[in-house]
């Protein structure tokens, strides 16, 4: 969560609420968007000197807007340059499939149908995010960041998510068909 927040703050300073809403809208499939998770990570980053906060008053409310520090940039740069770790990608839901033989046949079928429905919803959300990103004009964004490259790799992430959802829909649909024919 901390590196995700650092990356978002590189793109633009934000309040905790703005971070939470951005994660909820665009990255909820990657991590938690709960206010507690975001605030805990921000507090940790602030204590470590990786972000700073400036307070502003809007009416009676005070807002804390967070920005990344040089220390935060350095930490993020080290993290993002590291190779991705294949052994860190886990799908604990596969344990349900592993033990599905212990469930009643109709329960198994219902669970698989519902999972396919969820993956179709996920694919729909990702396709909507992809469309939003494709309509963004990098020239309209704040200067100082290579926005075409940022958007390029965010697009790759969305493409991966769509492809993964399509794979799971296809795989579980074939399994469902098999189980309907041979319970």
Q: Residue 35 and residue 32: Cα distance in Å, rounded?
A: 9
Residues 14 and 72 in one domain: yes
pTM equals: 0.76
Same domain, 125 and 181: yes
Q: How many CB atoms lie within 10 A of CB 7?
A: 15
Provide the pLDDT for residue 33: 59
Question: pLDDT per residue over 135-163, tens digit each?
Answer: 888 788 778 888 888 888 988 989 999 99
Distance CA 63, CA 11 (A): 19
142 lies in the same domain as 167: yes
Nearest to 4 by CA among 144, 28, 165: 28
The reported pLDDT for the residue numbered 154 is: 87
Cite the beta strand spans of 31-181 per DSSP E: 51-58, 61-68
* Full domain range(s) for residue 1: 1-82
Residue 69 confidence (pLDDT): 95
Same domain, 95 and 46: no
Angle at alpha carbon of residue 110, lines to 106 and 116, rounded to 5°: 145
What's the pLDDT at 92?
A: 77
Helix segments in 12-52, DSSP class H: 16-22, 35-47
Q: What is the structure's pLDDT at 114? A: 95
- Distance CA(153)–CA(150), nearest Å, equals 6
Low-confidence residues in the chain, pLDDT < 70: 29, 31-33, 35, 88-89
Whether 73 and 16 share a structural domain: yes
Let me know whether 21 and 68 are in one domain.
Answer: yes
Q: In the chain, what's the furthest Cα-to-Cα distance?
A: 65
Q: In this predicted structure, what is the pLDDT of residue 29? A: 65
Q: 25-37: per-residue pLDDT in tens?
A: 877 767 665 767 8
What pLDDT does 31 receive? 67
Residue 146 sits at φ, ψ, to 5 deg, of -80, 80
Q: Are residues 55 and 114 in the same domain?
A: no
Do 78 and 96 fall into the same domain?
no
Q: pLDDT at position 143, please?
A: 82
Backbone angles phi, psi at 61, to 5 degrees: -90, 145
């Amino acid at each position: 969560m901390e590196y995700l927040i650092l990356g978002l703050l590189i793109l633009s300073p934000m309040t905790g609420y703005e971070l939470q809403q951005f994660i909820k809208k665009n990255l909820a499939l990657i991590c938690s968007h709960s206010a507690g998770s975001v605030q805990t990570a921000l507090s940790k980053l602030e204590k470590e000197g990786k972000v700073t906060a400036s307070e502003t008053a809007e009416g009676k409310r005070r807002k804390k807007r967070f920005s990344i520090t040089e220390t935060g940039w350095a930490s993020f740069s080290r993290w993002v340059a590291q190779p991705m770790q294949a052994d860190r990608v886990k799908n604990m839901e596969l344990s349900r499939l592993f033990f599905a033989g212990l469930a009643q046949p109709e329960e198994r079928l219902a669970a698989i149908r519902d999972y396919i429905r969820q993956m179709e919803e996920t694919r729909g959300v990702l396709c909507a995010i992809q469309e939003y990103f494709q309509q963004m004009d990098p020239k309209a964004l704040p200067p100082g960041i290579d926005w075409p490259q940022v958007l390029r790799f965010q697009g790759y992430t969305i493409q991966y998510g769509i492809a993964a959802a399509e794979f799971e829909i296809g795989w579980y649909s074939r399994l469902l068909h098999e189980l309907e024919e041979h319970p």
